[in-house]
Amino acid sequence: MRERRKWKRYTAAYPVEKGEKHVNNPIDMLDVSKGGIAFTAMGEVCENDKINIHLFLKNKMFYLKAVIVYVRRLKEDIYNIGAKFFNVPEDFHQTFEKEIEEITQFRRECNLYNHKSLSFRKASTEYLKNTPPSKT
């Protein structure tokens, strides 16, 4: 089966804030790319609903508009949701790429010095916890 995604997805542990009442209580971000996001949330939403996602990168909050492309029910009132960004702010892609590069480098260094394999998600958690905000 051919991959349809345009952007590489990362299982980073970024905190996500909901922007509209459509998405109640985001529980966990599953993955993120320059083109969209997947997360679990409580409460049903519908495909093609428009939502706002607040994503904090490099000491800056990005207010991203997205359209829901899939909704999968996991269990009662908990859903996996995939959304595609649109009208993306100019500096989002560059900021996102830079932060992903920094997390990748941090992960490599941790794996090299600790002699064990650290997942990208765990590396992103540690990076975000231990890296001071940039001065931009």
User: 12: which 2 tokens?
Assistant: 């980073």
Q: Domain segments of the chain: what residues? A: 1-136
Looking at domain 1-136, which of 2.30.140.10, 2.40.10.220, 1.10.260.40, 3.10.400.10 is its CATH number? Answer: 2.40.10.220
What confidence score (pLDDT) does residue 9 get? 65
User: 131: which 2 tokens?
Assistant: 């890296």
Tell me what percent of the residues of the chain surpass a pLDDT of 90.
Answer: 12
User: 10: which 2 tokens?
Assistant: 């990362």
- Residues 6+ positions from 3 with CB-CB distance below 8 Å: none
Indicate the average pLDDT of the chain.
78
Q: Considering the entire predicted model, what is its pTM?
A: 0.73
User: 70: which 2 tokens?
Assistant: 């899939």
List of E strands, 43-131: 50-57, 60-75, 78-86
Pairwise CA distance, residues 66 & 73, whole Å: 20
Neighbours of 5 (CB within 10 A): 9
Three-state secondary-structure class, residue 42: strand
pLDDT tens for residues 71-112? 999 888 888 889 999 999 989 989 888 888 888 898 899 888
Q: Is 49 exposed, middle or buried (0-12, 13-18, 19+ CB in 10 A)?
A: middle
Query: Within the chain, how many helices (H) and strands (E) appear?
Result: 2, 6
